Amino acid sequence: MPYLKVQTNKSFSSKKQQNFLKECSALISFELGKPEKYVMTVFEPKIEMTLGGNNDSTIFLQLKSIGLPDTKTKDLSKKFANLVEEKLKIPKDRVQVEFMDVPRGFWGWNGILF
Which residues belong to the active site?
Answer: 2
The answer to whether 60 and 84 are in contact (CB under 8 A) is no
Pick from 109, 26, 23, 25: nearest CA to 66: 109
- DSSP class of 71: H
Neighbours of 64 (CB within 10 A): 18
Rounded CA-CA distance 65/49 in Å is 25
Residue type at 98? Answer: E
Judge whether 22 and 85 are in contact, CB under 8 Å. Answer: no
